[in-house]
Amino acid sequence: MPDALIAGVHEFPERKTAKSVLEIQALSARAALADAGLSPQDVDGYFTVAGNPGVGPLATVDYLNLTPRYVDGTTIGGSSFVAHVNHAAAAIAEGRCRVALITYGSTSRSSGIAVGTRERIAGEYVDQFEGLYGISTVGLYALVAGRHMHVYGTTSAQLAEVAVACRRHAGLNPLALYREPITVEDVLKSPMISSPLHLLDCCVITDGGGAVVVVHPDVARDLRKPPVRILGSAEAVAHAQAGHRDYLTTAAAQTGPRALAEASVSHDEIDMAMIYDSFTITVLMTLEDLGFCKKGEGGAFVSGGRLGLGGELPINTDGGGLSSNHPGMRGIFLVVEAVKQLRGECGERQVKDCRTALVHGTGGTLGTRHSGATLVLGRA
Amino acid sequence: MAEYAKPLPEITAESRPFWEGCKRHQFLVQRCRACGARQHYPRGICAACWSDDLEWLPSAGRGTVYAFTVTYRTQARGFRDELPYVLAYVELEEGVQVLTNLVGGEPATLRIGMPVRVTFEDVSADVSIPRFTPA
């Protein structure tokens, strides 16, 4: 693994804002650079997704008045920013930049975008075969959830355990959108959106954004906070395989083993994990495929408080997309929270003696095509 | 014919044979002449070997439900007026999965593995949409 470090992070605090997508990114970039002890003039690599706005990095680099010598607009859904960290580390190792800035901003909530239930048509060739049937993001995850239940006997109550754990953590995060505790019963009684997924199986819709600064070790030496090491990383795409797919296996089955092997870290060395939680099923299947339990045993694994603070594998200590924030592409928050945990900055929700964290982003939909990006991060 | 409120396919030269098959109420599956692989959705190359020597095989139109979800809330055009509706993957006897709707069965009676057959809705002079219904 290229020896690059994460030196600064910032999560935009508002959940509904009058600020623009560009302003959110500018304020987040300024704060993340300040967190690192760097200035805008130090930035020579820039990363963001397309459509954020327009042709990705072009609009943002212009607005921020940056002069990068390395630019990356990788857009693979919500995991994009996790992949950006990997790409930034590789670019730094190759000598193509030394201070890489990753930014994200979105106004989904104030723009009234129904992220989960809107028609999911992207203007692609495949739309003529998929877009005719009332597809939405939640529907395309629900298909897979239903199949997981059928094949492995997973229950709605087990899925609900994921939402309950995230809500408990949100209660410890003053910035989280929803902080009142919920029970398994609350999840099961919430309205069915697309069976078997209830309203509380689905992530929230917020505005938001953030920034991450990845730097060369020489830069990191003089910075104000201890940087976080990138120990291992991997990316993969899983898709329909021309009509021959096992939809119960996610991209995490490819990325988990690769990232952990690169980091030379075993599952029991992971102190906490940030697992993309677009829906409860996303977490359950990702944990299986990352190898924290056997395939099909995710239902039992997520139960009994294992995912809560003080449990065997605390996840999504910020409250996750299920309770804290989800502006559409949540990957950057996974990185931000993992870094804060490794630095011991999480206050009431701090995982005790957190030395190693795993981040896994999922982008796209489990029911058609999706990306997976894994990072293993460690205290310097 | 009443106005069709759901999305229509944007048919291209690459996909035209598939949609012409639908017009004849035939569900066509592509087969590769080079390696024998079958595929859906149809495309200009074989996804298994990247040969562009493909033929169109009329499917028997029978299969089983691989996965389904009953949708109660959506913003999708046309569907938001017909809640609930069923989104599904059907596995055809020819061995490929097809994303589709299940129609004509009570949602409560649907099961993964149940046999289904194709049915076509003629939505315009040019377009017939394939869906599946309990066999």
pLDDT per position as a tens digit, A243-265:
999 999 999 999 999 999 999 99
| CATH code for position A177 | 3.40.47.10
Asked if the model's pLDDT at residue A30 lies above 80, the reply is yes
Flag whether B4 is in a domain: no
Of A11, A81, A22, nearest to A47 by C-alpha is A81
**Beta strands A45-47 and A99-106: pairing type?**
parallel
Where do runs of H (alpha helix) occur along chain B?
Answer: 16-23
- Rounded to 5 degrees, φ, ψ at A43 are -75, 125
Beta bridge partners of B70: B86
Nearest CA in chain B to A127: B9
Flag whether B40 is in a domain: yes
The number of distinct structural domains making up chain A is: 2
Whether residue A74 is found in the same domain as residue A154? no
- Asked if A153 and A301 count as a contact pair (C-beta separation under 8 A), the reply is no
Flag whether B2 is in a domain: no
Give the model's pLDDT for residue A68: 98
Whether residue A329 is found in the same domain as residue A371? yes
Contacts of A131 in chain B (CB under 8 A): 7, 9
The residue-averaged pLDDT of A338-360 equals 98
Flag whether B106 is in a domain: yes
Share of chain B above pLDDT 70, in %: 99
pLDDT band per the 50, 70, 90 thresholds, residue A368: very high
- A interface test, pick of B38, B74, B127 with most A CB neighbours within 10 Å: B74
Flag whether A116 is in a domain: no
The residue-averaged pLDDT of A48-68 equals 91
Whether residue A27 is found in the same domain as residue A95? yes
- C-alpha–C-alpha distance, residues A332 and A25, integer Å: 12
Contacts of B66 in chain A (CB under 8 A): 147, 247
How is residue A367 written in tokens? 């029911």
When CB atoms are compared, the residue of B74, B96, B112 closest to A243 is B96
Asked if the model's pLDDT at residue A153 lies above 80, the reply is yes
When CB atoms are compared, the residue of B14, B75, B112 closest to A150 is B112
Whether residue A312 is found in the same domain as residue A198? yes
When CB atoms are compared, the residue of A121, A147, A243 closest to B7 is A121
Flag whether A52 is in a domain: yes
Of A170, A213, A169, nearest to A10 by C-alpha is A213
Whether residue A79 is found in the same domain as residue A57? yes
Whether residue A69 is found in the same domain as residue A105? yes
- C-alpha–C-alpha distance, residues B135 and B130, integer Å: 15
Asked if the model's pLDDT at residue A117 lies above 50, the reply is yes
Asked if the model's pLDDT at residue A224 lies above 80, the reply is yes
Which residue is associated with the tokens 């910075």? A223
pLDDT band per the 50, 70, 90 thresholds, residue A27: very high
Asked if the model's pLDDT at residue B34 lies above 90, the reply is yes
User: Sign (positive/negative) of CA torsion B127, B130, B133, B135?
Assistant: positive
Using DSSP's 3-state secondary structure scheme, residue A253 falls into helix
Cβ distance of B10 and A127 shorter than 8 Å: yes
Q: Which residue has the higher pLDDT, B86 or B3?
A: B86
B:68-107 residues touching chain A, CB 8 A cutoff: 68-79, 85, 87-89, 95-101, 107
Q: Residue A28, CB half-sphere, CA atoms under 13 Å: how many?
A: 30
Flag whether A343 is in a domain: yes
Cβ distance of A150 and B14 shorter than 8 Å: no
Whether residue A143 is found in the same domain as residue A61? no
Domain that holds residue B119: 16-134
Asked if the model's pLDDT at residue B47 lies above 80, the reply is yes
- CA distances A363 to A30, A198, A286, B97, B129, Å, are 26, 21, 12, 22, 29
Whether residue A35 is found in the same domain as residue A135? no
Give the model's pLDDT for residue A1: 46
Whether residue A198 is found in the same domain as residue A318? yes
pLDDT band per the 50, 70, 90 thresholds, residue A93: very high
What is the torsion angle, in degrees rounded to the nearest 10, for the CA atoms of residue A359, residue A364, residue A366 and residue A371? -50
Residues A120-146: tens digit of each pLDDT: 887 889 999 999 999 999 999 999 999
Cβ distance of B97 and A117 shorter than 8 Å: no
The number of distinct structural domains making up chain B is: 1
Of A49, A58, A47, A59, nearest to A22 by C-alpha is A59
- B interface test, pick of A120, A125, A133, A147 with most B CB neighbours within 10 Å: A133
Burial of A282 (0-12, 13-18, 19+ CB in 10 A): buried
- C-alpha–C-alpha distance, residues A134 and B76, integer Å: 5
How is residue A291 written in tokens? 């190898």
Whether residue A151 is found in the same domain as residue A189? yes
Flag whether A63 is in a domain: yes
Of A137, A145, A143, A140, nearest to A162 by C-alpha is A145
Whether residue A179 is found in the same domain as residue A55? no
Whether residue A369 is found in the same domain as residue A245? yes
Q: Which residue has the higher pLDDT, A115 or A328?
A: A328
Using DSSP's 3-state secondary structure scheme, residue A354 falls into coil
Asked if the model's pLDDT at residue A280 lies above 50, the reply is yes
DSSP state of B109: G
Flag whether A218 is in a domain: yes
Measure in Å the smallest separation between the Cα of A1 and chain B Cα atoms. Answer: 32
**Beta strands B85-92 and B54-58: pairing type?**
unpaired
- C-alpha–C-alpha distance, residues B46 and B39, integer Å: 8
Flag whether B86 is in a domain: yes
Asked if the model's pLDDT at residue B52 lies above 60, the reply is yes
Cβ distance of A142 and B69 shorter than 8 Å: yes
The residue-averaged pLDDT of A269-291 equals 98
Asked if the model's pLDDT at residue A2 lies above 70, the reply is no
Domain that holds residue A218: 5-111+207-230
The residue-averaged pLDDT of A373-380 equals 96
Share of chain A above pLDDT 90, in %: 92
- Rounded to 5 degrees, φ, ψ at A203 are -70, 160
Flag whether A247 is in a domain: yes
Q: Residue A122, CB half-sphere, CA atoms under 13 Å: how many?
A: 15
